Structure 1
Amino acid sequence: MIIILIKYLKYYFQTSNFFINFTFRAIISLLTSFIISLYITPYFIIFFQKKKYSQVIRLDGPKSHFKKNNIPTMGGIIILISFITSVIFWSDLYNPYLWYVLITVLFYALVGFIDDYYKIILDNSIGLVIYEKIFLQTIITITIITLFYINNTEKSSLQFIIPFFKNIKIYLNFITYLIISYLIILWISNSVNLTDGLDGMAIISVILVVFGLAFLSYITGDIQYSKYFHLPYLKYTKELVIICTTIIGSGLGFLWFNTYPATIFMGDIGSLSLGSAIGIITVLIRQEILLLIMGGIFLFESLSVIIQVFFYKYKKYRVFLMAPIHHHFELKGHLEPHIVIRFGIISLILLLITLSILKVS
């Protein structure tokens, strides 16, 4: 919006380009979303407490979680408000990639809202049945990816990038592109949802992964840097940095209240929408493999659930005391803050490994 406004004023008056400077917008968008999130969260906590929109704890979960039963949930609404407000104000609204991200996030947030609402109304920890959730996510994802493929004008945006083999150019047809994009978006959105089980753990990992995506978006959207890192140049991806910095700001503001002991939880409306943002940005910048490394915590969490379900179903054997794996460590006697910090350290290490791979590839 600020870009449209400055261009309009410049047409009639002699105005400065300072406010549309990319670096300025990246920094100020982060600060804007952070301040909004920080300011409005206490009001939402009070509102949710009055409405009794509280977290419903799973009965088979760790007993230490029962004390969280009255803590407000659906805090993802706060993240969305601060995120969308800052993006609309500081982003280039003419950029088509911006709208693919926003539309994906909003529809996934709607699925998360329905899921949270069912949990609160029905007073259970299940919400939407898994098949219902996957069905809704599938419709959204296939629609968005198909629209992108149809309207895409850049051949390089359909390239599948393999680290260490960047001279090998693999261009995807519609079916292959759809399958890869679909799997990435569904996997990461639901993995963030699974990781959101301890105070501050999911949002810390999200912030670190999104920081990595901001870096990748910047270099793929710059001709010189993309050549230096041997990545295809994608002219619209640089603006995704503003999306990423806004998510980081919103996440930091939310983490202020979500850190142990949390006074509010993001709920599925937060975890699904944030996960979908990571997924669609990854697809747009063509870095699916790097996401698997950078988002290793999310990969471990989802794999622990798959392993647990598989072995229990076919072998009647539990590999972990409880899945996702962070609950396993809880039941092993590790303190919640320790698990969160250690998982955060692992996320940071994985981010650094990813960036080092990017440099040497």
Structure 2
Amino acid sequence: MLIWLAEWLTQFESAFNVFSYLTMRAILSTLTALSIAILIGPAMIRWLQIMQIGQTVRNDGPESHLAKSGTPTMGGVLILAAVLTSSLLWADLSNRYVLVTLFVIASLGILGFVDDYRKVVRKDPNGLIARWKYFWQSVIAIAVAIFLYTHANIEAETSLIVPFFKDVLPQLGIFYIVVVYFTIVGTSNAVNLTDGLDGLAIVPTILVAGAFAIFAYVTGNVNFSEYLNIPFIPLTSELVIVCTAIVGAGLGFLWFNTYPAQVFMGDVGSLALGGTLGILAVLVRQEIVLIIMGGIFVVETLSVILQVGSYKLRGKRIFRMAPIHHHYELKGWPEPKVIVRFWIISLILVLVGLATLKLR
């Protein structure tokens, strides 16, 4: 939005031309989202406390979590407000990739909000019925997939980039819709499952979003994409603004979410952020790299699948509790140790993912 104002003002003062540079707007996007989260955070937390919108803790979980009962939740609204405001201010809103990404984060945020509302306000422990949650996730993902497929202008937009192999670029065709669907829905649920400890989900999200900012920049730059032997997709460069907004909002939220947390993001945050990472991976054509960089999310999800499957088939549990972060807590690891070690692993995986840009 402000980019249009800056373009108009440039005719009167050339200094406004600085806002046309993507790097400058990326920095401003980060700082804007960070400032919104930091400044609004305390007031929002107080309001949540007054309204008694607090977390409900399972009795069968780690005993240390019982003290978390009543901690304000639905803090993801703060993240989404910061991301959306910053993106609307600094991104080029004529770019359809930006609009699709904002649609995903907003629509999944609304879905997560309804789920949280039923849990903490209506006191329904199950929240939104699982099949309805999955149904609306599917509707959103399929709608986005069909839109992107029907509006693809170049082959690169529907090709699959295979890491480490510069000449392997299979054209997905109609199967592209399937890939988009599972990427958005899968990542949305994976981040949701990971959000079980203070700051555990938000830091990997920040790291992956920051990495996607780099992927978006080089993919949308003809010189860098040619040098790195990746397809050139001009629309992706503007996604840098959304990615940096997520980084800024995430850091601002971490200020209050770090151990011991003053607020939790809730499904309104985790479902939306997960789906956004998924659509970003799709748009920069790095779905496979997302699996690498989001390895923590993958492991958390697999631990739940294996736990449920093992119990149903053999009547035995593989882990003391799933998702796997609870397993380590029950083994005696202090919560901060689990969190920081998962952060370190996430950082390593993101670096491996970034290495695929050059190792081809």
Give the structure-2-normalised TM-score: 0.97
**Which residue is equivalent to 1:49?**
49
Counterpart CA distance in 2 for 1:59 and 1:121 is 19
The answer on whether the counterparts of 1:82 and 1:250 sit within 8 Å (CA) in structure 2 is yes
Counterpart CA distance in 2 for 1:148 and 1:124 is 37
**Which residue is equivalent to 1:347?**
346
Counterpart CA distance in 2 for 1:222 and 1:67 is 50
Write out per-residue CA displacement over residues 309-345 of structure 1, whole angstroms, 9 at most, x where no aligned residue: 0000010010000000000001011000110000000
Counterparts in 2 of 1:103-118, with a 5 A limit?
A: 103-118=103-118
**Which residue is equivalent to 2:359?**
360
Counterpart CA distance in 2 for 1:139 and 1:245 is 27
Residue aligned with 1:156, SS: helix
Q: CA deviation at 1:9?
A: 2.6
Q: CA deviation at 1:351?
A: 0.9
The answer on whether the counterparts of 1:217 and 1:241 sit within 8 Å (CA) in structure 2 is yes
Counterparts in 2 of 1:19-38, with a 5 A limit?
A: 19-38=19-38
Letter in 2 for 1:195: T
Counterpart CA distance in 1 for 2:45 and 2:167 is 52
Letter in 2 for 1:320: F
Counterpart CA distance in 2 for 1:166 and 1:312 is 42
Residue 171 in structure 1 maps to residue 171 in structure 2 = yes
Residue aligned with 1:164, SS: coil
Letter in 1 for 2:127: G
Counterparts in 2 of 1:207-356, with a 5 A limit?
A: 207-356=206-355
Counterpart CA distance in 1 for 2:125 and 2:214 is 37
RMSD (Å) for aligned C-alpha atoms: 1.1
**Which residue is equivalent to 2:64?**
64
Residue aligned with 2:53, SS: coil
Select between 214-223 and 143-152 the one with higher mean Cα deviation: 143-152
Q: CA deviation at 1:147?
A: 1.1
Q: CA deviation at 1:166?
A: 2.3
The answer on whether the counterparts of 1:57 and 1:66 sit within 8 Å (CA) in structure 2 is yes
- Percent identity over the alignment is 47
Give the structure-1-normalised TM-score: 0.97
The answer on whether the counterparts of 2:7 and 2:20 sit within 8 Å (CA) in structure 1 is no
The answer on whether the counterparts of 1:71 and 1:264 sit within 8 Å (CA) in structure 2 is yes
**Runs of at least 5 residues in structure 2 that lack an aligned partner in the other structure:** none
Write out per-residue CA displacement over residues 133-152 of structure 1, whole angstroms, 9 at most, x where no aligned residue: 11110001101111111122
Q: CA deviation at 1:132?
A: 1.4
Letter in 2 for 1:282: A
Q: CA deviation at 1:164?
A: 2.5
**Which residue is equivalent to 2:81?**
81
Counterpart CA distance in 1 for 2:26 and 2:222 is 19
**Which residue is equivalent to 2:196?**
197
Write out per-residue CA displacement over residues 36-76 of structure 1, whole angstroms, 9 at most, x where no aligned residue: 10000000001011111111112322121111111100001
Q: CA deviation at 1:253?
A: 0.3
Q: Which runs of 4+ in 1 moved over 4 A?
A: none
Residue 93 in structure 1 maps to residue 93 in structure 2 = yes
Write out per-residue CA displacement over residues 196-255 of structure 1, whole angstroms, 9 at most, x where no aligned residue: 000001001101111111111111011111112111000000111111000000000000
**Which residue is equivalent to 1:160?**
160
Letter in 1 for 2:319: F
Select between 83-92 and 303-312 the one with higher mean Cα deviation: 83-92
Write out per-residue CA displacement over residues 272-306 of structure 1, whole angstroms, 9 at most, x where no aligned residue: 11011100010011101111001000000000000
The answer on whether the counterparts of 1:2 and 1:89 sit within 8 Å (CA) in structure 2 is yes
Q: CA deviation at 1:124?
A: 4.5
Residue aligned with 1:360, SS: coil
Letter in 2 for 1:353: V
Select between 59-68 and 43-52 the one with higher mean Cα deviation: 59-68
